[in-house]
Structure 1
Amino acid sequence: MSDYFVTGATGFIGRFLVRELLANREGTLYVLCRAGSLKRLDGLIAEWTAGGNEGRVVPVVGDLSAPGLGVDSAWIAEHAGTIGHFFHLAAIYDMTADDATNDAMNIDGTRNALVLAGALGAGTFHQVSSVAAAGDYKGVFTEDMFDEGQPLPSPYHRTKFESERIVREESPVPWRVYRPAIVVGDSQTGQMDKIDGPYYFFPLIKRLRDTLPGWIPLLGLDLRDTNVVPVDYVAKAMDHIGHAPGQDGQAFFLTNPDPQGAIEMINLFCRAARAPKFATPIDRRFSEAGPIKALPASLRPASLFAAAVHSKPATMVFDQTIGRLGIPSEVLGHVNFTAVFDSSKAQALLEGSGITVPPLESYAELLWNYWEENLDQTTAHDKKAHKSLKGKYVVITGASSGIGEVTAKKVAQAGGIPVLVARGVEKLEALQRTIEMRGGTAYVYPCDLSDYEAIDALTAKLSAELPRIDFVVNNAGRSIRRSVKLSLERFHDFERTMQLNYFGAIRLVMGLIPKMAETGGGHVVNLSSIAVLTKIPRFSAYAASKAALDSWSNVVGSELHGDGISFTTIRMPLVRTPMIAPTKMYEKFPTISPAQAGDIVIKALVEKPEAINTLSGQMGAAMHLAAPKTAHKVLNLAYNAFPDSAAARAHAESSDTAHSGSETSSQKEMVARLLKGLRWGR
């Protein structure tokens, strides 16, 4: 058994690699850390070792820029000969970084790491390089190729090439090199910690989604392929290949053997965002075939486009146009590749291990959702949001997941202080840690909001412990989809729904009114539902509870106006949260994401309107007002086309009261098309 030394363990790939090593290998993992980052590392160590690996991850204080990484000589003497694998991941993975930063981190850092590896007598030095080492090579670039005279168009490309050269020529111990492609988030969770690669385009995609109908095609150019791999694949492949016998002195491409077209990749994220997609009327059948194929590679459209992107005039234009959307010109020129990366050796070693590159379409939505809920900085850059929320205490119920969780993160982005309320204390504390790691402040107050005594205790505690309460977001709620015929013996469904959605919500607000009035007022945001306006069948319990909350707020708002306490009702459209996941019929209808719902809540907190409705909700309400009989006929068609929930049907079958419908898939499709745009639940 041998131990490990890891640099860059707190970085994105490093964190995933440490998990793999802990799960699959024995021995102690020594991880390099600056003295000022020990607190952050302690949090990661607690996360890594929560499953029973206590004591296996040990920090070693040092600095990438110091000779021998600045590790104490006594520590080196004590551990010499015990390190079997030295993984060097600490580096700059940023095409926008300048020469000095790239040189210090990628070149000098690699030399310093090699000195330490030599002093420790490490068994193998594992260098994490990049496909950028291939530069703008045109054609197939194999794992055995290295210095082929390829152009290196940026400091990033140059230093990745040079650091790999240093390992090849100067390593005092056996070495292996790994060249990942563009690394994106975890294919299982979407987790990512920085903006890089395709993520630079996400704000543009979001803006397109929020301003244009999804059916409008946009013009795109099909120039070349890109290559994207998820971080979990990279970490698993490095762990597996790093321990394969007889592979020292080799380089391995950790790339997708079936690369995606650049526009295809962008369209997958557009689809995940429900944004317009790009059409390519001139694709590679024309741009790389026929007479054009006879041209020298440097004169083909893809090469001319790349050359134009790198030119100074084009850079100036891009900086003043797409650069304002957060897309650096350096990134635009390197989304696609001139080289085709042959990963045959890596794939052969991984064969039979179960480690494969998943298709991007299988996890693109996870990547988008994680970015939108965690990395999107729209709220952080919103001056109005900062002015309205900075330093303000915002009580958010149902904060442990879905809309409440995203809203809390957005409030913290704007400088607000989210006060997190829900039943699950562990989830609330995890959200609190996330907010605090991002530089914010949050407080946790677990409470069962269906328990009146618990609500009274909560309001008393909030009033005593917080200096003031500026906002309350009533987000916690219960939804039941069950027809009245199947509810005749289940009156408790109506009682439970009303208890949480109405009585629990108003009891909370009533308990906080004295504190808000005492400290100058406050604003309450109630998350209602479009079902109140559209009156969709099977939601009688849910819609009634939300309608009661709407009416109460409208009346009380006038009474408390003089105390500076106001209300906003958001009649939210259908949101893709875990609450609607069991209802498969929703897959046929348009929905918004929790992050989009969170943006609506932020708007309500900042602008404080009396109500926020969607166009589809207003249309539904107008239809009921202008033609109530027609509205009921249309909704009865929907009622007969779609069944009750699985839980409702199971109960009905057991009590022999099942609804007998003759719905067909064609009826369902017809109703889905007819009612498209009526996003009625939350």
Structure 2
Amino acid sequence: MAYFVTGATGFIGRHLVAELVDHRQGPVFVLVRASSLPRMEAFVRQWGSTRVQPVVGDLAEPGLGVDPAWVEEHAGKIDHFFHLAAIYDMTADDATNEAMNVGGTRHALALAESLQAGCFHQVSSVAAAGDYHGRFDESMFDEGQPLPSPYHRTKYESEKIVRYEATVPWRVYRPAIVVGDSGTGTMDKVDGPYYFFPVIKRLRDLFPARLPLLGVDLGDTNVVPVDYVAKAMDHLAHLPGRDGEAFHLVNPEPQPVVDMINAFCAAAGAPRFATPVDRSITTAGGLIPRALRPSTLVNAMVRSAPAQLMLDQTVGRLGIPAEVLSHTSFPSVFDSRVTERALAGSGISVPPLETYARALWSYWEENLDDSVARDPKARAALKGKLVVITGASSGIGKVTALKVAQAGGIPVLVARGKEKLEDTKATIEMRGGQAHVFACDLSDLEAIDSLCERMVEELPSVDFVVNNAGRSIRRSLKLSQDRFHDFERTMQLNYFGAIRLVMGLMPQLHRQRSGHIVNISSIGVQTNPPRFSAYVASKAALDSWSNVVSSEVVGHGITFTNVHMPLVRTPMIAPTRIYDKFPTISPAQAADVVIRAMVDKPHEINTALGTAGALAHTIAPRAAFRVLNLAYQVFPDSAAAKGQKPTSEAAAAAVEAPASSHRETEQMLLAQLFRGVHW
């Protein structure tokens, strides 16, 4: 088979091409503008197949501007023509929507007809249903529905062109609101529910997660992950005898807007919204007419011109376009029974949002949150500055690098795994930034010496150093009697490796008469939790060294910040299964703290609990040790600490299962009471 795909560099298009490469045979021709060839070449490398072949053209040109000689050569040889190139943006203006969605579809259909394509696959949208009230099934199209925006109108018009003008067989796909990949969370832009994420982040930072907030029933919405959409399209396109049909790529069960927002609030650790008046009361038996229901009234109000103007000047300043608020919910209920039957037996279905909301949130927080880029103070401090970041291949280090680049800084990525560092560098460069890669084993002191020599020789300056690479070991002393190397390994990386790096760069910092070092220390240095004697001692050593050296070098403009970081959800804590239920901060939250350390340059950054712990050890050490001993009794050693290696997650959970529900209650009580402490 042979395929032609427009919009292959777009979000859905990239995933569809990946599906075709992985599961189908034959060439995949992808339309690309000449100016976008370098970007397309990067995607071709990601797809890892020589079967993907760029075809130069332009959506705005008749016949997509494809060379007539190419069309003549491939006429009759294209089995499936997928048209995905379009504007999927509620905020786009009328002219842009018209040119891309309507004109683009007409040009794509003309090319498909010239190629005598076996089937033209039009990717439409549930927006074609407009403001139709009630159940809208796959057989419905022209039902006299109101089309409230240019986006709705052009989605309807482009689908109409295919339905009434195509001379080749066709199929139509109507996705609901498409969000990121349900496994990785990958998303390429802020759209749909993502507009609300900055507000959710602000709520998380201002209020405790257990604080209930007042909500209102805003009706139903419908979101689906992009991997479901791509897999479903690939499967449906290859079913025999389905030409001339439309398929709803939607969640079969409408999702209340409040429930959707609460799923993301839970993923973020933000307070959730409660609706005191349930819709079952307002809709029961039709007691309240549709026009007077809360969701109808709210939607009508936000769509009015005065409300749109007011919203632009209020929530618009928070990054939520008024147009998005006015189309948050759907008056239609999208019937997908035809699609569900067609997918039966394929294993392709829509996962519940709750199962992948955290993946979506984490990806946004780490990759799409532009709060650092919009912070003038951060940009002033970091723009053009070279920032050495150790442990930059994952976790806190990687996200810090992305945020430094977002602010205009130049991350210098250091870790053992060069391949992962190169991937991070490629991500930064695709977003218009710069980065340098220096692979190094930071537990090898001689390798660190060579690293420092290379950086001084190859970099014009070293403005910041972030000592982030670290090793954590959670093991009680009684299990450490024959494992003295645990203490040697943690000191080697967390202490000796960190100070060797700083000492190797210190002559350069003195020549510059400037430089700031950020040490990622631990809340454990202040609270001294049991089972962390090796880890806490190594971090305390780095703290003490930095405090002493600070007084020696401050006269040359060289300063230090010790960040006593609470428990962070990173791969480093994954072996300890009980942490799965603990309140933790995300790598992105930790990276925001690191950015603050570079921008404000305080001597220390502490949490309130960490400060309280240090104070308790000063004024009431005996009582503090009693509390810590209680925690020692409540929290067991992990399977990894005991030297056990379960073969599955289920086995790991069984090995570390608490002795009783009472013990588990005690664990969670202490974890909630001492949020962020490593137990």
TM-score with structure 1 setting the length: 0.96
1:349-369 C-alpha deviation (Å, 9 max, x unpaired): 100000011111110000000
Q: Which of residues 368, 371, 377 is equivalent to 2:370?
A: 377
Any residues of structure 2 matched to 1:489-568 within 5 Å, and which?
A: 489-568=482-561
Are 1:417 and 2:417 an aligned pair? no
1:55-111 C-alpha deviation (Å, 9 max, x unpaired): 201000000000000001111111101001000000000000000000000000000
Distance 1:624 1:106 in 2: 66
Contact 1:319/1:329 (CA < 8 Å) preserved in 2? Answer: yes
Please name the residue that 1:642 is paired with.
Answer: 635
Where 1:636 maps in the other structure, the secondary structure is: helix
Contact 2:658/2:664 (CA < 8 Å) preserved in 1? Answer: no
Please name the residue that 1:198 is paired with.
Answer: 193
Contact 1:140/1:340 (CA < 8 Å) preserved in 2? Answer: yes
Any residues of structure 2 matched to 1:430-445 within 5 Å, and which?
A: 430-445=423-438
Are 1:98 and 2:97 an aligned pair? no
Q: Which of residues 145, 153, 158 is equivalent to 2:148?
A: 153
Distance 2:643 2:481 in 1: 15
Distance 1:504 1:317 in 2: 55
Distance 1:469 1:14 in 2: 41
Are 1:666 and 2:666 an aligned pair? no
Identity of aligned residues (%): 67
1:626-664 C-alpha deviation (Å, 9 max, x unpaired): 2111111111111011111212213799xxxxxx99964
Which one-letter code corresponds to 1:169 in the other structure?
A: Y
Distance 1:290 1:80 in 2: 59
Which one-letter code corresponds to 1:666 in the other structure?
A: H
Q: CA RMSD in A?
A: 1.7
Which one-letter code corresponds to 1:84 in the other structure?
A: D
Please name the residue that 1:386 is paired with.
Answer: 379
Give the superposition deviation at 1:302. 2.1
Which one-letter code corresponds to 1:121 in the other structure?
A: Q
Contact 1:125/1:176 (CA < 8 Å) preserved in 2? Answer: yes
Any residues of structure 2 matched to 1:5-24 within 5 Å, and which?
A: 5-24=4-23
Q: Which of residues 139, 142, 167 is equivalent to 1:172?
A: 167
Please name the residue that 1:249 is paired with.
Answer: 244
Q: How many residues align?
A: 670
Structure 2: tracts of 5 or more residues without a match: 647-655
Are 1:73 and 2:68 an aligned pair? yes
Distance 2:26 2:595 in 1: 48
Are 1:340 and 2:339 an aligned pair? no
Distance 2:660 2:292 in 1: 57
Any residues of structure 2 matched to 1:462-501 within 5 Å, and which?
A: 462-501=455-494
Contact 1:641/1:664 (CA < 8 Å) preserved in 2? Answer: no
Where 1:179 maps in the other structure, the secondary structure is: strand
Please name the residue that 1:657 is paired with.
Answer: none
Q: Which of residues 182, 185, 197 is equivalent to 1:187?
A: 182
Contact 2:8/2:85 (CA < 8 Å) preserved in 1? Answer: yes
1:597-634 C-alpha deviation (Å, 9 max, x unpaired): 00000000000000000001011111111211111111
Contact 1:640/1:661 (CA < 8 Å) preserved in 2? Answer: no
Please name the residue that 2:590 is paired with.
Answer: 597
Contact 2:102/2:154 (CA < 8 Å) preserved in 1? Answer: yes
Distance 2:232 2:152 in 1: 23
Give the superposition deviation at 1:289. 2.5
Please name the residue that 1:29 is paired with.
Answer: 28
1:516-542 C-alpha deviation (Å, 9 max, x unpaired): 111231000000000000000000000
1:658-677 C-alpha deviation (Å, 9 max, x unpaired): xx999644234224314523
Cα 1:662/1:150, change in 2 over 3 Å: closer
Give the superposition deviation at 1:285. 1.5
Contact 2:584/2:675 (CA < 8 Å) preserved in 1? Answer: no
Where 1:592 maps in the other structure, the secondary structure is: coil
Cα 1:651/1:315, change in 2 over 3 Å: closer
1:156-214 C-alpha deviation (Å, 9 max, x unpaired): 00000000001111112111000000000001111000111110100000000001111
Please name the residue that 1:405 is paired with.
Answer: 398
Are 1:363 and 2:348 an aligned pair? no
Where 1:649 maps in the other structure, the secondary structure is: coil
Where 2:641 maps in the other structure, the secondary structure is: helix
Where 2:367 maps in the other structure, the secondary structure is: helix
Which stretch of the first structure deviates more once superposed, 580-589 or 670-679?
A: 670-679
Which stretch of the first structure deviates more once superposed, 4-13 or 21-30?
A: 21-30
Which stretch of the first structure deviates more once superposed, 155-164 or 304-313?
A: 304-313
Which one-letter code corresponds to 2:545 in the other structure?
A: W
Contact 1:223/1:287 (CA < 8 Å) preserved in 2? Answer: no
Distance 1:343 1:531 in 2: 53
Contact 2:381/2:599 (CA < 8 Å) preserved in 1? Answer: yes
1:186-244 C-alpha deviation (Å, 9 max, x unpaired): 01111000111110100000000001111111111113111110000000000000111
Contact 2:639/2:645 (CA < 8 Å) preserved in 1? Answer: no
Please name the residue that 2:653 is paired with.
Answer: none
Please name the residue that 2:83 is paired with.
Answer: 88
Which stretch of the first structure deviates more once superposed, 579-588 or 263-272?
A: 579-588
Please name the residue that 1:219 is paired with.
Answer: 214
Distance 1:630 1:519 in 2: 48
Where 1:45 maps in the other structure, the secondary structure is: helix
Distance 1:650 1:517 in 2: 46
Distance 2:278 2:321 in 1: 25
Which stretch of the first structure deviates more once superposed, 333-342 or 364-373?
A: 333-342
Cα 1:662/1:369, change in 2 over 3 Å: closer
1:541-560 C-alpha deviation (Å, 9 max, x unpaired): 00000000000000001100
Any residues of structure 2 matched to 1:259-408 within 5 Å, and which?
A: 259-290=254-285, 292-293=287-288, 295=289, 297-408=290-401
Which one-letter code corresponds to 1:64 in the other structure?
A: L
Distance 2:287 2:574 in 1: 50
Distance 1:678 1:502 in 2: 26
Contact 1:223/1:283 (CA < 8 Å) preserved in 2? Answer: no
Please name the residue that 1:656 is paired with.
Answer: none
Give the superposition deviation at 1:245. 0.6
Which one-letter code corresponds to 1:259 in the other structure?
A: P
Distance 2:675 2:76 in 1: 68
Contact 2:89/2:151 (CA < 8 Å) preserved in 1? Answer: yes
Which one-letter code corresponds to 2:23 in the other structure?
A: N
Where 1:104 maps in the other structure, the secondary structure is: helix
Give the superposition deviation at 1:586. 1.9
Distance 2:142 2:240 in 1: 26
TM-score with structure 2 setting the length: 0.97
Contact 1:529/1:680 (CA < 8 Å) preserved in 2? Answer: no
Are 1:575 and 2:568 an aligned pair? yes
Structure 1: tracts of 5 or more residues without a match: 654-659
Give the superposition deviation at 1:329. 1.3
Contact 1:529/1:681 (CA < 8 Å) preserved in 2? Answer: no
Where 1:645 maps in the other structure, the secondary structure is: coil
Distance 1:661 1:411 in 2: 41
Distance 1:464 1:661 in 2: 53
Distance 1:671 1:429 in 2: 41
Where 1:448 maps in the other structure, the secondary structure is: coil
Contact 2:575/2:640 (CA < 8 Å) preserved in 1? Answer: no
1:336-395 C-alpha deviation (Å, 9 max, x unpaired): 110000011111110000001111111000000000000000001010000000000000
Give the superposition deviation at 1:318. 1.0
Which one-letter code corresponds to 1:401 in the other structure?
A: S
Distance 1:254 1:513 in 2: 58
Cα 1:277/1:652, change in 2 over 3 Å: closer
